[in-house]
Amino acid sequence: MHIYHLGLTNFRNFARLELDLPRGPIVLLGDNGQGKSNLLEAIFFLATTRSPYASADRQLIHWLAWKEQQPFARLTARVEREKGPLRVEIVLKGRPLEEPWTLKEPEGPGVTKRIRLNQIPRRALDALGEFQVVMFCPQDVNLVAGSPSERRRYLDVANSQLDQRYARSLSQLNRVLLQRNSLLRRIREEGASQDQLEFWDKQLIDFGTYVIQQRGRFVAEVGPLANQEHQRLAGGPKNLKVTYLSALGQKEPLGPEDLEFQSLTGRLSAALKRERAREIASGMSLVGPQRDDLQFTVDGVEMTAYGSRGEQRTIALALKLAEAGFFRYQTGDRPVLLLDDVLSELDPARRAHLLAFLPPEQQAFVTATDLSGCPEDFLRQAYIFDVREGQIEMNSKRQPPTGLLR
Ligand SMILES: Nc1ncnc2c1ncn2[C@@H]1O[C@H](COP(=O)(O)OP(=O)(O)O)[C@@H](O)[C@H]1O
Ligand SMILES: [Mg+2]
């Protein structure tokens, strides 16, 4: 799949942008602070209805737009896919305000989000999975080095992009957890009755089992692919193992053989019974997918604790490449790749491997502040776009010989 037209109005520092895009690798070239990451953010937002960078959607609306009667930002993408054309439109609307950009989260007004797919209004949860993106950025190292919540977020974004039922189950699960946690606190602090827990346990089991099952399947497929990518990146027969640790009471590794729905339901429900006293004592839900984690080992060594920064980065990159491969396998279509500031931090061998992942028919957006880090044979098939102060223009001097632009 590829995006062949992108339109932005008042999105970040893009006051107005209408951009035709080629299929194939695209280098976004520009100094710092010109809008390269903002453009990638826009594409990610169109695919997932979420920003990879912002903590609140209102940050996405152009500062100057807040002075207008009706502050808004509009994003549109026209996408060509194996399963037919797609037009995505997302409109963010805020209320007029003096200077929202001086405010820190969680202060400040919310914004509303309207989504249309092929002109038809959709709820955010029903708009996912229409086209897939995989983003690579320097913070990816935290997939390995960071906290379990970052790894869960990774699993959630990836799975939500493939499966609307996953996205819906997850959102229901989060709602259930809020209620269940507040009940657990009331039982602990006010001696409230435990009768209602049965109800919330059942809901947690219903939605949680699906989330666990899909995460487990994802890891079972993507783990071995990540191992292959990792061997190529690390240039040797090192063995990367990705393990899904599900919080069924204690953190237990879940393999492909454990993913049968009924047996998962049974284990989750047994764990809830077993841990009930502990949950009440702590006033928190301790059992369920909200406590899941991933573990990475290389030749048996645990990498969150013992990996070097470089090793952790290589694992994260391998995982993302594997994810892209898995998306393609699942949808029959190549996802759009977004590479934000990743070239500069790789050594030449890893960089070459990554760029080899970008054949002419793979749409990929690669940000760079200069071309010196890009191998010549990559540049020969890439399109160069100059990004300057929220304006983007195709660089007429350096383009591939074939006119792939539609
Ligand atoms: N809501 C906004 N309205 C206008 N400009 C913004 C907004 N949010 C961020 N910016 C501007 O966008 C610039 C950063 O763009 P970015 O895409 O991160 O740059 P880079 O090209 O280095 O990736 C910042 O300098 C900031 O001034
Ligand atoms: Mg940037």
Assess contact for 31 and 384: CB atoms under 8 A.
Answer: no
Closest CA to 212 of 315, 316, 294, 331: 294
Atom of ligand 1 nearest to the CA of 32: 22
Half-sphere exposure for 15 (CA within 13 Å, toward CB): 8
Q: Which ligand is nearest to the CA of 32?
A: 1
Centre of ligand 1 from the C-alpha of residue 11, in Å? 10
Cα–Cα distance list, 258 to 209, 244, 290 (Å): 12, 11, 19
Query: Residue 406: what pLDDT?
Result: 42
Residue from 12, 36, 55, 392 whose mutation best tests the ligand 1 pocket (most atoms within 8 A of CB): 12
Helix (H) or strand (E) holding 289: none
Ranges of the chain with pLDDT below 70: 97-109, 249, 398-406
Centre of ligand 1 from the C-alpha of residue 343, in Å? 20
Q: pTM of the predicted model, to two decimals? A: 0.93
Centre of ligand 2 from the C-alpha of residue 116, in Å? 28
Strand, coil or helix: 10: strand
Centre of ligand 2 from the C-alpha of residue 19, in Å? 19
Residue from 11, 32, 36, 38 whose mutation best tests the ligand 1 pocket (most atoms within 8 A of CB): 38
Residue nearest to atom 3 of ligand 1 (CA): 62
Q: Which ligand is nearest to the CA of 392?
A: 1
| Model confidence pLDDT, tens digit, residues 304-344 | 999 999 999 999 999 999 999 999 999 999 999 999 999 88
The values of phi and psi at residue 248, to 5°, are: -95, 70
Q: Which domains does the chain have, with CATH numbers?
A: 2-132+333-394 (3.40.50.300), 140-306 (1.20.1050.90)
Angle at CA 252, nearest 5°, toward 251 and 256?
140
